[in-house]
A and B are shown apart, each in its own frame.
Chain A
Amino acid sequence: MLKDLVTPENANVFVGKLGDILEKAIDKPLGYAINWGRIWSLWPVHIETACCSVEFGAASSPRYDVERFGIIEAFGSLRQCDLVVVQGTITRKMAPRLRLVYDQMPEPKYVIAMGACAITGGLYFDSYNVLPGIDGVIPVDVYVPGCPPRPETLIQGCILLQEKIKRMKARKFV
């Protein structure tokens, strides 16, 4: 009976349906497990955009040691990263590159706007070469204010992002 129904042409449909049913059944625990994995693997892309990178570097120093939270471990390849920390001013020359980096990253991906310049343009609100905030370039999850933010503020922003991911729907990206 079932053998007749499942032909090589529509086998995928049946398997997919089965997967849907399974996921419906265990959606909540599965989503929790996926999100749990995501919040402990927030690795940022190695892109420095302006002077906030000094405090970003200081956040990894022994005094602040952000890696004890399992986040923000500076890492080389953007294919394995899922976090962009925009460290300060985005100039008109950097904006296309930032978008390019963001587009190359696999889902899921999150963005932290670090510093006043990344949020609104900050001190450089009237400069001819600075964008008034990065919202127009990439979507932002968490804003970390300060000029530059202290490492503690950055850590708090990351923890906020973790809280946010916990409440996100994990299935969106599956």
Chain B
Amino acid sequence: MTAELPPGLALQKVDERIMTLNVGPQHPGSGHMRIVVQIDGDYIVACDPDPGYVHRGEEKMAEYRNYITNIPHLERPVIHDSCNVLYPYVLGAEEILGIEVPERAKYVRVIASELNRCIYTQYWLAIYGIFLGHSTMFMWPAGDRELLIDLMEKMSGARVTHAHFVPGGVRNDLPANFEDACLRQVNYFEKRIKEYAAVFYDNPILISRTKDTGVLSKQDAIRLGTTGSVLRASGVDYDLRIKEPYDVYEELDVHTNVMKEGDSYARSKVPWLDMMESCNIIRQALQKMPKSGSVRTKLKPNPKTKGPETVYKRVESGRGSLGCYIVSDGKTEPYRVKMSVGSFRNLIALPYLLKGEKLGNMPSVYWSLNYWPVEADR
């Protein structure tokens, strides 16, 4: 029995008090995964996450497609954050193919990436509201994110699956008057998300449900290798946009939001603060962006690589650091593509945090990990 338990959760005594409960995959509080919890009364004594319900073999498929045709399916893991999930792959492919990116394209990428971060976080926040039984908090973010989806639709032509980033820049230039519309919508959006404090973050019900639940200390956050908002909510100031700036992030003034508590409340608040930071970055990028110029270095449909090479590129996505490891053997298809995604890295914290927690707190702890099952399964 002990061999079956997740490691780090040595269960001394198993008796008839312990009940095993399957949460998911058909459950309002699980998403696309199954969490096997063992409960003693109302308290969780062990938890075994069982992902893989959306494992689609994208890494294997990437070995059969060339560097351009890999783009559509590699953005599917997180379709509402599709620019960020594609970003490290595109950066890696550019290094392997040896392409330079025009300056304007880099700014367009930053704008698209930050817009996508907000779109992702809004959806995440809406589902967090559902998980906590807070219907208003579903309606508000789900409605406000449509503003930014409109912007992305103008920019790329698609509602969620943009496929906008390509090796060598972005697929097409910004439409006319995009800057004004973007500035106007982003300003309004920022005004709107500040109102969430009154209905959600200062709500005593939310605070009582999420404060001091699932506390992840700073040492454990580092030891478990968590990333993104989970890490920053535990007091580690780590954001790849600052620590290892890619594209034009070093020319922009980026701040991180760090909270020290490490509980579910902090983990739910950090992405919200990050959205305001994203609005700042978008405004800066709009200001500094070259007003004209090329946005794409043209490539052949089946581009040649420079030769055998391995690259590992990281970006800060909505769920944390997202790495892409590409092994090239000199052919037109990559030899191996590995996506090291934030959700999969944060999953390890789930059994750790749920131990000793009440069963009723499971959805709030689980979703506060900024977890998107489709991405974790790839």
Complex: A in contact with B (CB within 8 Å): yes
Q: Mark B78-104, 1 if CB is under 8 A from A, else 0.
A: 111000000000000000000000000
From 5 to 58 in chain A, residues with beta carbon under 8 angstroms from any chain B beta carbon are: 45-51, 53-55, 57-58
> B76, A51: Cβ atoms under 8 Å?
yes
C-alpha gap A60/B143 in the complex (Å): 9
Nearest-CB distance from B375 to chain A (Å)? 9
Name which residue of chain A comes closest to B150, CB basis: A63
Cβ-defined contact, A62 with B160, below 8 A: no
Interface hit among A87-95, A137-145, A156-164, A165-173: A87-95
Name the B residues within 8 Å of A76 (CB-CB): 28
**Interface of A: prevailing SS:** loop
Given contacts A62-B139, A127-B57, contact A54 B160 (CB under 8 A): yes
Whether B73 pairs with A123 at a CB distance below 8 angstroms is yes
- Contacts A123-B72, A129-B57, A130-B57 given: A78-B161 contact, CB under 8 Å? no
A47 x B26 contact (CB < 8 A): yes
Does B55 contact A62, Cβ atoms closer than 8 Å? no
Report which of B26, B61, B123, B161 forms a contact with A45, defined as CB distance below 8 A.
B26
Count CB-based A-B contacts (< 8 Å).
Answer: 97
Kindly list chain B residues whose C-beta atoms are within 8 Å of the C-beta of A78: 26
Q: Which of B25, B61, B126, B143 meets A63, CB within 8 Å?
A: B143
**Is A109 close to B, CB under 8 A?**
no
Give chain B interface residues in 31-49, CB to chain A under 8 Å.
31-32
CB neighbours of A129 from chain B (8 A): 55-57
A103 to chain B, nearest CB (A): 12
Contact A127 B60 (CB under 8 A): yes
Q: A62-B139, A97-B26, A97-B53 are in contact. Are A51 and B374 (CB under 8 A)?
A: yes
- Say if the beta carbon of B195 comes within 8 Å of chain A: no
Interface-centre pick from B130, B145, B161 (highest chain A CB count, 10 A)? B161
Closest to A100 in B: B26
Closest chain A residue, CB of each to CB of B373? A48
CA distance A145 to B73 in the complex (A): 17
A46 surroundings in chain B (CB, below 8 A): 26-28
Residue A61, interface by CB 8 Å: yes
A124-B61, A129-B57 in contact; A48/B31 too (CB < 8 A)? Answer: yes
Judge if B142 is at the interface, Cβ distance under 8 Å. Answer: yes
**Contact among A57, A148, A150 for B142, CB-based, below 8 A:** A57
Please tell me if the beta carbons of B161 and A147 are within 8 angstroms of each other in the complex: yes
Contacts of A150 in B (CB 8 A): 159
Q: Are A148 and B79 in contact (CB under 8 A)?
A: yes
Q: Is the CB of A61 within 8 A of B80?
A: no
A4 at the interface (CB under 8 A from B): no
- Residue of B whose beta carbon sits closest to that of A104: B26
Closest to A59 in B: B142
B54 within 8 A of A: yes
Provide the bound-state CA to CA distance between A8 and B78, in Å. 65
Say if the beta carbon of A101 comes within 8 Å of chain B: yes
Q: How far is the CA of A165 from the CA of B291 in the complex (A)?
A: 55
Flag if A124 contacts B26 (CB, 8 Å).
no
B77 surroundings in chain A (CB, below 8 A): 51
Tell me whether B127 is interfacial, beta carbon within 8 Å: yes
Provide a sorted-by-A list of 8 A–B residue pairs whose CB atoms are within 8 angstroms: A50-B32, A50-B54, A51-B79, A62-B139, A78-B26, A89-B54, A91-B53, A128-B60
The list of the 3 closest CB pairs from A to B, nearest first, reads: A61-B142, A62-B143, A127-B57
